[in-house]
Chains A and B, each alone.
Chain A
Amino acid sequence: MSIRLAIAVTHLVNRKRPTLVSLTGIVLGVAFFLAVSSLMRGSERDFIKRLIDNSPHITVSDEYRNPQLQPAVVRWPEGAVEVRRVKPLTEVRGIRGHARKLAFIESLPGLRAAPVLMGSVVLTFAGRIEGVTLSGIVPAKTKGVSTIEEKFTQGSLDALAANPNGIVIGVGLAKKFGLEMGSVVNAASPGGEVRTLKVVGMFRTGNANYDETQTFALLKRVQGLLDRPNRINRFIIQLDDPYAARDVAAVIEERTGYKSVSWLEASEDLMSVLLVRNLIMYSVVSAILVVAAFGIYNTISTIVMEKTHDIAILKSMGFHARDVRRIFLAEGVMLGLIGSLLGLALGLGLMALLARVEIKPPGATELVHLPIYWGYEQYLLAAGFALASAVGAAYLPARKAGRVQPVTILRGMG
């Protein structure tokens, strides 16, 4: 052990109480930092997981991000071209050449895609009339991109696949209409087509609006009902790595030309709320550590004051100003390190305790454990911040100690 470190250790060991008090500050600071951070990050991840699970990672729709340019503008991009009174060509809605586009999307690694034709229909049953969204799906493909099948209370997607005239509805709609499994409803399209469909499945997602207005039928059936044969207007894409959604969406949009919206883009407002929430949380928990740093400052500057004579004698003996500075910086580092380690242990304990707490969120039927995030980066962050504040707090007294002039002290004595 270097002599500087030995002196630093002696200083701390001989002042057990102030040392313990300032150590406790750091320990509690780090522990609370971890407990709060793990809970906040845990709930954030829980929230994002729900978001990712319940919404498509990427939705490609039959829309363009920007209005289509006039050919003249494309031909002379630098020219002063202005085309007035343009009436765009009536376009058949839907994704053009969707089979080829689907093949391209499916050729990308790490994703599954499903075609959907979405439209509005009016359901009638026993004199009740309700406008709903009807999605035409291919059950085999939909299974790969959606968690809807887990939400079925009765029936299944396979039952839909087996019954060309089947329809799957939410429990909210079933209640409203008084529908049961096997009930037969009429679906009318805006174009006047009418089909009779039989309820072969029911789901409950927990989102009331979705459960009341979303229905599913086979793609072929919906194409017939909406009079748009062989058309689809949407690709639903699920990724193995949800966080790659933004990049993958950009690639797809570039190749297909159609608007591809990733879940990140679709929920940008929520993501920014989470960011602000994290900023607030980290400012508050960091403030605890800053307060703890004052304890360290107090302890070390008291030691410096008490030890002015020792500092003078060390310097007269030939210790450099930086040797003296290092002694007191080392005290800060030791307090920071030991405090961080004990704080990490206590923090892990608190986290384990929190992870065992069960709560019943509003609307849920089962008790759930508090979501706790165990990621290592928060340990590094907590320990790093604690260490930085400890060293910062030690720096000022250490600098003062380095500046002690032995002669000033000796004159005072003699």
Chain B
Amino acid sequence: MDLNTRLQNVTVIGAAGKMGSGISLLLALEIAYRALEHKDRTYLLNLVDVNDGALLGLLRYLREQAVKDAEKQMSRIRRLYADREDLVENGEMIQAFADEVLQHVRTGKTMTLAQDSTLVFEAAFEKEELKVGIYKELAAICPRDMYILTNTSSIPLHVLADASGMLGRVIGYHFYNPPAVQKLLEVITPDVCDSELQQLAAELAKVLRKTVVPSNDIAGFIGNGHFMRDGLHGIREVERLAQEHGFVKAVFFVNKTSREWLLRPMGIFQLIDYVGVDVFQLILRVMEKYLNDGLHSPLIDRYLELGIKGGQTSSGTQKDGFLKYDKGAIVGIYDPEKQEYVMMDGTWNKEADTQLGAHPDPTLSWKSLQGDPHLDAKLRRYFGSFGANPTFGVQLATDYFRVTREASLRLVADGVAHSAEDVNKVLTLGFFHLYGPINDYLD
């Protein structure tokens, strides 16, 4: 069965979650364009989620985004509606397109919506038993040739497929957040996987204009394989530095150097908060279960016991986690001893800044280097100056740099990634880093 036929009846499970919404949007737009191009065919997109309120929110989101997409694709939209005499103005066509997108969408809480689908995207909560249960249910009601593309970011595919009796019919399709915007798609092909499914997955990635990085079927894959070790290093550094400097300052040092000294978009604790402390713990547990590699942090467990979770509100504002935020800016750091946030009010953080020493080149930042045509040369010069600049900040950044590089090299050595280039691609495309972790900048 070709892709176009499969796209005539598609289901997204967990459609109203953060990743599910984005995947649903990508599919809803693609289906609407196809429906306008192939008027003789019927297209349906079934969006399944357990949360009614979130499903209503998803419909609103789809409409808003459909309008935005049509505004950007106006020439294409005008061509597609050339035969509709009742639609003359851009505005009329944009509204008609938004209606078109929603016309193909059915939402519901029951899995039976998926019964005619031959293509199912699964973006349910990252829990093995939950996913296996869903796959078993799908296998029972869907056509025999149904395929599952799962957004799991850590659970081995062969485990899910085997436990659900879906061997050969499941592939990993790991989008990055937000799926509609992020170019990276990590495709995880288990050892047993129908060749038709592999081809479909590749063809669909092209249609959705994603950059595919293949990853092997080892828990955590490339993205989390790197992120978890990167995060654990940050946490261990905090534990080490806390003995001398106190906990809050230690978080301050590590977060600041990992962002500003390493020229990353976020500090490591800001990133953990963004992903969610609970999600971080969950992925650690999944990975440790299969890899037995010391992927565990008592500090993370303690935070969750104290109810410190991070993550985002449904409107996308950052919730407090390791750090406290005000309109996106970091304003405080959580102290688990005192069980309260210590504000960065200048009483102690100025001194902490002095302790770190001057930034090696204050003119350079992640933001300032965006799209810089001389990026590589500038990074080379910047990291090259580390040796002659032995401040405390540079020391922390150097250690961080080396650890993250080691962890990345191990992903290649362990066969998670096919090449160093693939690891670098995941970090630059999926995490928006300016440079891949496998490099010779500090050699």
Does A pair with B? no
Write the residues of chain B forming the contact surface with A, with a CB cutoff of 8 angstroms: none
